[in-house]
Amino acid sequence: MDDATSSKKRGIWIEKYRPKSLSEIVGQRAITSRLEGYVEKKDLPHLLFSGPAGVGKTTSSVAIAQEIYGGDWRENFLELNASDERGIDVVRNRIKNFARSAFGNYEYKIIFLDEADSLTKDAQSALRRTMEQFSHNTRFILSCNYSNRIIDPIQSRCAVFRFPPLSDEAISKKVREIAEEENIKITDGGLNAIIYVSQGDMRKAINSLQAASIMDEEVEEDNVYKTAASAKPEDIKNMVERALDGDFIEARGMLNIMLTEGGISGGDIIDQLYRSVWEFQIDNENAVVMIDRIGEADYRISEGANERIQLEALLAAISMKK
């Protein structure tokens, strides 16, 4: 790779290609068009963004600030991550101090609280009072994965926007644009692999593209799965089909290869198993039983159980069911 090409590939692409305005955000036009109405009128309510990772919640918040404040947006926009600062002190200190200083050339400043569902209940109660106290000069944008973890008094004070996972078309369009900009060749198989591993997460899709492009000048299917530490869908399918045929030993061997040679986590395999259930030639009753078994294994792994034992037990249950 020559110096010019090497220099072009440096940097973090998710930041390099982060949209600077609401109109540039792909796949969420139904939401961004409503947000543009608030920005145009300069009449912003408190906002609550909920949805999975990588679908545009943080990007929308930053874009709102950039469009309202222009070059002054950094001085008028405070971003905090609630998962790092979960307690009541962050509300009493950092948020209140910034809110008290929210005076100047603009009617209000914006506080963006990412992963707000990580705040303790006491911290959320304190935040509710702060939102009331400083509503004249501060607007809050809260972002979370699960809106049901936000207390009702906060939800009732916000305009709620629920961001869905991005469509395959939106991911494909953005990935092709970046590949063309970076002068990278990407095969159809490589693009489909990126869509598969990203699961509607634009951040993951862009990171997968960048990682795969470093391995080779052409982004191919194999490189995407290797860099994303994800199993190929056909490998998952073959493993389960061996178990369905009653060949537990063969299925167990394939699982071992995924865990040891592929470096794939048990949680990721569980997720891929769930996504593949309806692709197997089994009746609805057995599919329901399989989903129940997958859910049980997923819960146990999330609670700290040994992932290899749980996955082998899952394959054994599938083999015995046959």
**All domains of the chain in start order, with CATH:** 28-162 (3.40.50.300), 166-227 (1.10.8.60), 233-321 (1.20.272.10)
pTM of the model: 0.83
Residues 159, 164, 169, 174: what is their CA dihedral angle, to the nearest 10 degrees?
60
| Statement: residue 76 has pLDDT above 60 | yes
Mean pLDDT computed over 62-72: 92
Contact 111, 83 (CB under 8 A): no
Mean pLDDT computed over 88-102: 72
The whole-number pLDDT of residue 91 equals 67
Q: Cα dist. 256→235, 236, 251, 285, 309 in Å?
A: 12, 12, 9, 28, 11
pLDDT in tens, 300-312: 998 999 999 999 9
pLDDT band (50, 70, 90) for residue 4: very low
pLDDT in tens, 200-235: 999 999 999 999 998 888 999 989 998 888 888 899
| Statement: residue 1 has pLDDT above 60 | no
Mean pLDDT computed over 46-56: 94
The whole-number pLDDT of residue 255 equals 94
User: For 216-283, where are the alpha helices, taking DSSP H only?
Assistant: 221-227, 233-244, 248-260, 266-276
- Kindly provide the b/e burial profile for residues 215-240, where b requires at least 16 CB atoms within 10 angstroms of the residue's own CB: eeeebbbebbbbbbebbbbebbbebb
Q: Which helix (H) or strand (E) holds 319?
A: helix 307-321
3-state percent helix, strand, coil for the chain, nearest multiple of 5: 60, 10, 30
| Statement: residue 3 has pLDDT above 60 | no
